[in-house]
Structure 1
Amino acid sequence: MRNFENFACVDWSGARIERPPGIAVATIGSDGPPALLNPSPRWSREDVKNWLLRLADNKVNILVGFDLSTALPFRDCGCYFPEWTESPKDARSLWRLVDGLSRNDPWMSVGNFLQHPEAQRHFRHGRDNVGDLFTGGIGRLRRVEQHQRDTGQANSASCFNLVGAAQVGKSSLTGMRLLHQLEGTIPVWPFDPVPDSGPVIVEIYTTIAALAAGLPRGRSKVRDRDGLEKALGKLDVPSPARLDRYDDHRTDAMITAAWMKQASRDPRLWAPPELTSEIAQKEGWTFGVF
């Protein structure tokens, strides 16, 4: 386990536009309140990549959490894409496949990957557009997602579902493009060992942070100053100056960055019992789930 000096949460988005309003980035240091990083006019995914590369160049001692799934389910079927002969063997190969098939899509979007004749078979694309290998119900889950549900720590959705407000598939797939394009410049836990210095990326789930901050299950979104102050107070973190706007993307990022500062010191979260070496390389894990 390592001591980090700085923490950041990226509330990510899979929207197929250059600058999605759903991207928010908050940071917090060893003391003081969390702060939003606000580029003008808004974050693009390319902006986030360039910010991460600067962190790597400057060897900043920071833990960066991304609100997305860093891989697809593998363990349940023994592969990511049953019946596809080119189904990748591990998460890094999956990132490479998604990025490669999407190389002509702008803004790190993934339209061409999802339209590939083999890939599209595995996803629920719309109410009346369901791939023949989509498993039905909520869809396939990674081990960490099933474990979250079994233990009541969270209520994760399947990345193979691309429908509805709670879907996380598109944001996760665009995130895989980002991870591949970083080309190993920043270690990603648990796929990589945690180094002694420099930035590290982890997958997080903002609902876990919200529950730790005292927000009620099922009503974990904060959209006003009072709710943000109460949540940060529960985490023993001072509130920032008044924001010009309160939305759940910004507050999710700020609350989660504050929670990461606290959670990073818990050794259990770096070595959860369910995290085997195979799962670490093929499916990854959500930091905070034990």
Structure 2
Amino acid sequence: MSPDFELFIGIDWSGAKGSSHRGIAVSEAEAGQSVPSIISPPADARSWSRTSVMEYLIKKSGERKTLAGIDFAFCYPFIDENTYFPGMQDAPASAPELWALIDRINAEATDLYGGLIWKNPEFAAYYNAPAIKGHLFRSRRRQTEIAAKPIKSPSPTFNCVGPAGVGTGSLAGMRMLHKLEGQACRWPIETNTDKSLTLVEIFPSFYFSLAGVRPIKGNHARLDMLNKALAFFGSNSLPDGFVAKGPDFDEADALISSAAIRALASKPEVWSLPSCAIQEGWIFGVE
């Protein structure tokens, strides 16, 4: 049986330094078929901070049962090497242990930034990071990324450089997951979706690709293409004249994500996953 949610939130995330992020976009979709809407940052801010996103999620879930999808990898590959950090003694053996470690190493960084880990020689060796490529860095893949590849292949989670550098956002996201312990179901590592807030990992480009829209060079942000993708997930259309904002058309990613998780959440098979998902996480909707 599928969980019963009242509100669906899609978040295009950012792992950048600082506390005001133009690349963060937030969208809400009500239950049903209504078109999702873009949510502005707090009134006193030009852009979202990661901390304000976390506070917003807590507030919204206090009002209605909420499913929120956030665009970062919840965990690192584990199954391929039976560890997150091959060769490391006393490496974390579970996702919550990994999140706690990332938060502890970056404790002095503001707004959940996670890049201080690159200054730790023991851990920096595993990352392709700005100014340093660790000698143990490899393009490892989680099982969900392997499963997603026929539709759209995600980038490796230890890569923190360039347009495909998803690792920086994941580091910041893992800090948030740690801080939300007890306040949210961090799915699929945790499975108690009776809580008022359930967090899932999303991949907007995967959802566009499922809908037959190529998410390259801004094509997916064109109103006709965005509405085509929304329709695929059972959503009404955006109005004429709508323009997706953000450095990388981030609002388009947030909108399709809120519509996609709303549609996918009603499918029981989406909630049934292989056991590896407990240690590696899983992109919501990947079969």
What residue is the counterpart of 2:135 in the other structure? 132
What residue is the counterpart of 1:64 in the other structure? 68
Q: How does 1:1-290 map to 2 (within 5 A)?
A: 1-31=2-32, 32-39=34-41, 40-58=45-63, 60-126=64-130, 129-135=132-138, 139-149=139-149, 152-216=150-214, 221-241=219-239, 242-243=241-242, 245-247=244-246, 248-272=249-273, 275-276=274-275, 279-290=276-287
In terms of mean alpha carbon deviation, does 211-220 or 97-106 score higher?
A: 211-220
State the distance in 2 between where 1:117 and 1:156 align: 27
State the distance in 2 between where 1:213 and 1:81 align: 36
Change (3 A) 1:113 1:129: closer
- Displacement of 1:226 in angstroms is 3.2
Secondary structure at the aligned position of 1:200 is classed as strand
Secondary structure at the aligned position of 2:38 is classed as strand
One-letter amino acid matched to 1:42: S
Contact 2:21 2:49 in 1 (8 A): yes
Cα-Cα RMSD: 1.9
List alignment gaps of at least 5 residues for structure 2. Answer: none
Q: Report Cα offsets for 1:203-225 as digits up to 9, x if no partner.
A: 11112211233303656752333
Contact 2:66 2:196 in 1 (8 A): yes
- Displacement of 1:265 in angstroms is 1.2
Change (3 A) 1:197 1:82: closer
One-letter amino acid matched to 1:72: Y
State the distance in 1 between where 2:72 and 2:231 align: 26
- Displacement of 1:229 in angstroms is 2.6
Secondary structure at the aligned position of 1:53 is classed as helix
State the distance in 1 between where 2:265 and 2:220 align: 23
What TM-score does the superposition give when structure 2 sets the normalisation length?
0.90
Secondary structure at the aligned position of 1:122 is classed as coil
Change (3 A) 1:289 1:234: closer
- Displacement of 1:21 in angstroms is 0.9
List alignment gaps of at least 5 residues for structure 1. Answer: none
Contact 2:244 2:252 in 1 (8 A): no
Q: Report Cα offsets for 1:129-185 as digits up to 9, x if no partner.
A: 3211112xxx11111112222xx0320111111122012100011000011111220
